Homo-oligomer: A and B are copies of this chain.
Amino acid sequence: MSEFDLIRRHLTGVGAGRDDVLVDVGDDCALLRVPPGRELAVGIDTLVAGVHFLPDCDPAALGWKSLAVNLSDLAAVGAEPAWATLALTLPEADAGWVAAFARGFGELAAAEDVRLVGGDLTRGPLTITVQAHGLVPADHALRRSGARPGDLICVSGALGDAGLALRHLSAGEPVDDYLRRRLERPTPRVALGEMLRDIATSAIDLSDGLIADLGHVLAASGCAARLDLERVPMADQVAAVVAERDDWALPLASGDDYELCFTLPRAAACRLPVLGAAAGCPLTIIGDIEAGSGLRCVRANGSLWRPSGGGYDHFRRDD
């Protein structure tokens, strides 16, 4: 048995137990059954060592996160996760590293009932590409394009945690457990996404930061927005940095939040507390959709905050 076979063994059977998988890892293709009345939602994301994560990153955390960022995309369209494929490029056959990676990947896969159905293992610079496949009732997927003037803008969880963790790590400073967990093991808001299908008018997941991602919703919907900065939900650690330096870029533009930002009709606001409790995460109204174009970020005193620097260069980070 080659080292390759040893490695592959770690990746076989991850998330077993779905009866809609007819053939999985081992044949040329996986064969999958999409139930009638369901659409297939697919998203693909790559994480590159030195770009999206530090090369010495804990492989179990990396396994978790490489699946999480993809499930977050499924959550944004309201899809129920079903299957994943994994293309893993490794500089050398390191069975211990792969075992830890598979453990982290498998923890989240088990929690969300996702089966690893196929993959490719190649030699080269450490790169991880995952494609997640989900199912959504036909014509009920959430889109970016449905926001309308008068809608409320909401966000799940808290913003800026991963960004602050990354700042600390980059500066060689200690990172507390909460921030590290938010950076390394983000929780994709899968249950929330499914619940929002018939309530929200639009949704997106926050991978590039609220300003950039809400900007995509506004562009797709042909609307403007007003963001009330004092309502943006933040952990104490992030709020302290913002209070000290007026540094709103931390919660609004540092990315890697993997929360959902969604819009909903004003009349649905009363449902948010129950929804949040059911989804297991706080939901906060942070602004309003308006007619026109552009995004205004308004401080508590009524003054406008503007991001410094030019546009966000997607090519420098993930997209």
Interface residues of chain A, those whose CB is within 8 Å of chain B, are: 2-5, 7, 22-23, 26-34, 36, 39-52, 73-74, 76-77, 79, 83, 85-87, 89, 93, 117-125, 127, 129, 131, 133-134, 136, 138, 141, 143-144, 204-205, 220, 311, 313-319
Contact = CB atoms under 8 A, between A and B. Distances in A.
Contacts of A77: 23, 27-29, 31
A60 to B, nearest CB: 22
Contacts of A49: 124
B28 A76 contact: yes
A51 B123 contact: yes
A45 B31 CA distance: 16
B319 A118 contact: no
A192 B181 CA distance: 50
B32 A120 contact: no
Given A29-B42, A42-B30, A314-B4, A48 B85 contact: no
A129 B4 contact: no
30 contacts: A2-B311, A2-B313, A3-B315, A5-B314, A7-B315, A23-B141, A28-B205, A29-B134, A31-B141, A33-B40, A34-B34, A36-B36, A42-B117, A44-B85, A44-B87, A44-B118, A44-B119, A46-B120, A49-B124, A50-B124, A87-B87, A93-B315, A120-B129, A120-B318, A120-B319, A122-B318, A125-B125, A127-B127, A129-B129, A131-B131
B122 A48 contact: yes
Contacts of A30: 41-43
Contacts of A83: 42
Nearest to A77: B29
A252 to B, nearest CB: 19
Given A89-B48, A141-B23, A29 B79 contact: yes
Contacts of A117: 42
A30 B86 CA distance: 18
A122 B46 contact: yes
B32 A40 contact: yes
A95 to B, nearest CB: 11
Given A120-B319, A125-B127, A29 B50 contact: no
A103 B39 CA distance: 29
Contacts of A34: 34, 40
B313 A4 contact: yes
A76 B26 CA distance: 13
- The 8 closest A-B CB pairs, nearest first, are A48-B124, A125-B125, A4-B315, A28-B76, A29-B41, A34-B34, A29-B43, A129-B129
Of A28, A33, A144, A315, the most chain B CB neighbours within 10 A belong to A28
A56 to B, nearest CB: 17
Contact of A120 (B7, B26, B44): B44
A207 to B, nearest CB: 9
